[in-house]
Structure 1
Amino acid sequence: MLWRPDYSAHVLHTVVAAKRPEIWRLVLGISVMVTCYILMALFYQQAISELTRYQPEFLDELIAGSTPLAMYTLLLSFGLISVAVFIGVRLVHKRDPLSVFGPMMLAVPQFARVLGILVILSAALMILPPYGFGGELVLNLAPGLWAVLLPLSLLAVFVQISAEEIFFRGYLQQQLAARFRSPLVWMVLPSAVFAFGHYQPEEAGGNAMLIVVWAGLFGILMADLTARAGSIGPAIAVHFVNNVTALVIVALPDSLGGLALWHTPFGMADEAQLRAWMPVDFAMMIVSWLAARLALRR
């Protein structure tokens, strides 16, 4: 049945972690990753500062993600997380860094299969009514410029979302599942950390906890897909389509909207309007998860 949690394939994802599943090794691995990330991030920030020292306005653009260059700078910085995870996996767990994806012979075709069905689903939802977000969309980038930037924009988003999946559904889920059998540990714990990483009370105001709940549920659903598939390929596909839609196609005007073709008629500061559209986001998340599960059954 579609609704039953068949996690028999999860062992394919976790078997590589079972050789060294000790909790002290997990703690050491995270410590190494955090240290490596901080050092690389300091170098990255210094390099950006040197390159833009004659453009003081770039700092404001970077904080808001209001221009294509600022968005590329932000999104590509997530690649440092992936590099830090790869270093920690190699040094502490003595295994192939790419093993965090699960078996690549599963991850790649599963990613392609889920991506294909989600692209079709997203296109259908854009064509079918209702249209808009309670008002007319505001053109952000000229269509020609947006199209020229699109390949790099897709790459930047892929770097960002793959880093999150590599750490949360890859490394953390693998190591915890190798040590604990209960999904309450390997599914909920990484999802809780992922959720509170999205806690932004200054930007989201009264919607901050609602966004945390959204991110927590998203994390649990991605953990479920990973356990069903035996790799993080499907989770990467869902996360990729979600973020491309929210960052590259239609974005909020006051929060990471620099790469979007259109902006919504309301922003992050418009708490009531944003809250009214959150149920749509929740519904789309569930639909995408179900579509991914159907794609895995083929």
Structure 2
Amino acid sequence: MYIAQAFKYSHSFWRYLVIPILFFGLMILNYVFIEWMELDVNQLMQDEIARKGSNRVLLENLIAFVIFLAGLFLWVKYVHHQPIKALTTSRKKVDWSRFWFAFMLVAVFNIGLTLLDYYSNPEDFTINFQLEPFLYLVLISVILIPIQTSFEEYFFRGYLMQGIGILARNRWIPLVLTSVIFGGLHYFNPEVGKLGDIIMVHYIGTGFMLGIMTLMDEGLELALGFHAANNLITALLVTADWTAFQTHSIFKDISEPSAGWDVFIPVLVIYPIFLYIMARKYKWTNWKEKLFGKVERPVAVQAE
């Protein structure tokens, strides 16, 4: 129903091409420019942080997502003639209790895991806390990180999920494509250069988990809360010199990063536990149909 409700609005194929072409085109141009100029992105980031400070660099990087999200919402409203609620959920109104449930679940888990890691391996961390810059970090993060994560969810699990779904007329193709593309875009993160290609298992696996949440729950609320909490708590709690978010967080990870088979633990163990908790709370049923079933045009809706 979440995907099929896009049939109720202007859904001709060309309308779903423009925004992805602009967004992915921008990403490709950025990559080509970096390769052509032989730029060291990590070094550039370190130089910018040294010159401006990490809070200002974070602010400048996140401001773009305000423009991206506003542009997506305006396109959906005025070109698809679709209310944002219909891009958010199949329910009569957005269920914010679902957002906050997912947010608190991930926040508690991430805080607990970080503290456990800190007390188990204190030599891997230093205390990075400075009150004034941390307060500025909180202000920037609380306002802008949820906008950044919301754009990614509305674009991948919302706009592309619905657009590909009504074109393919099934659920599994949009689930696979949006998850792989979402994970693939993280290939340019500095973590990949430091940890190796195996970390892509984590990014693509996260895309699949968020997509499964969206399809099973027939809305974005859980995915929005999950993604916002994950990025926000990470930015406030732990930073490192090799991560995409380098912040005035409470802790700084000074260990030598490595990735092996342990990257499969979140995908194969932790994410299924999250899905199990949500499935029990929201009484998800009919998994096969919701993840692999057809997307049917509502009988009362006419083709454009």
Residue from 273, 278, 281 that aligns with 2:263: 278
Unmatched 5+ residue regions in structure 1? 1-10, 42-56
Match of 2:35 in 1: none
1:18–1:178 Cα contact (<8 Å) kept: no
Match of 1:4 in 2: none
Unmatched 5+ residue regions in structure 2? 31-43, 285-304
- CA-atom RMSD in angstroms: 3.5
* Alignment of 1:246 onto 2:231: no
Task: Tell me the distance in 2 between the aligned counterparts of 1:18 and 1:241.
Answer: 32
Identity of aligned residues (%): 17
Task: Tell me the distance in 1 between the aligned counterparts of 2:101 and 2:45.
Answer: 39
Secondary structure of the residue aligned to 1:135 is: helix
Q: Deviations over 1:164-211 (max 9, x none)?
A: 001000111112222334333110111111111011387633734223
Counterparts of residues 208-219 of structure 1 (less than 5 Å): 208-219=196-207
Task: Tell me the distance in 1 between the aligned counterparts of 2:55 and 2:274.
Answer: 27
1:139–1:262 Cα contact (<8 Å) kept: yes
Of 72-81 and 97-106, the range deviating more from structure 2: 97-106
**How far is the alpha carbon of 1:230 from its aligned partner?**
1.6
**How far is the alpha carbon of 1:104 from its aligned partner?**
6.9
Residue from 62, 71, 77 that aligns with 2:58: 71
Given the superposition, is the C-alpha separation of residues 140 and 281 from structure 1 closer, same or farther in structure 2, using an over 3 Å criterion? farther
Amino acid at match of 2:202: W
TM-score (norm 2): 0.72
1:28–1:92 Cα contact (<8 Å) kept: no
Secondary structure of the residue aligned to 1:16 is: helix
Of 149-158 and 199-208, the range deviating more from structure 2: 199-208
Match of 2:119 in 1: 131
Count residues with an aligned counterpart: 266
* Alignment of 1:260 onto 2:249: yes
2:186–2:203 Cα contact (<8 Å) kept: yes
Task: Tell me the distance in 2 between the aligned counterparts of 1:143 and 1:109.
Answer: 32
Match of 2:67 in 1: 80
Given the superposition, is the C-alpha separation of residues 100 and 275 from structure 1 closer, same or farther in structure 2, using an over 3 Å criterion? same
Task: Tell me the distance in 2 between the aligned counterparts of 1:237 and 1:213.
Answer: 22
Given the superposition, is the C-alpha separation of residues 206 and 178 from structure 1 closer, same or farther in structure 2, using an over 3 Å criterion? same
Q: Deviations over 1:79-128 (max 9, x none)?
A: 22212211322343122245321247244221122223333434444555
Task: Tell me the distance in 2 between the aligned counterparts of 1:222 and 1:95.
Answer: 23
1:169–1:223 Cα contact (<8 Å) kept: yes
Amino acid at match of 2:241: P
Given the superposition, is the C-alpha separation of residues 237 and 203 from structure 1 closer, same or farther in structure 2, using an over 3 Å criterion? closer
* Alignment of 1:15 onto 2:5: yes
1:106–1:230 Cα contact (<8 Å) kept: no
Task: Tell me the distance in 2 between the aligned counterparts of 1:98 and 1:235.
Answer: 15
* Alignment of 1:146 onto 2:124: no
**How far is the alpha carbon of 1:285 from its aligned partner?**
4.1
Task: Tell me the distance in 2 between the aligned counterparts of 1:165 and 1:192.
Answer: 14
Given the superposition, is the C-alpha separation of residues 239 and 63 from structure 1 closer, same or farther in structure 2, using an over 3 Å criterion? farther
Match of 1:112 in 2: 100
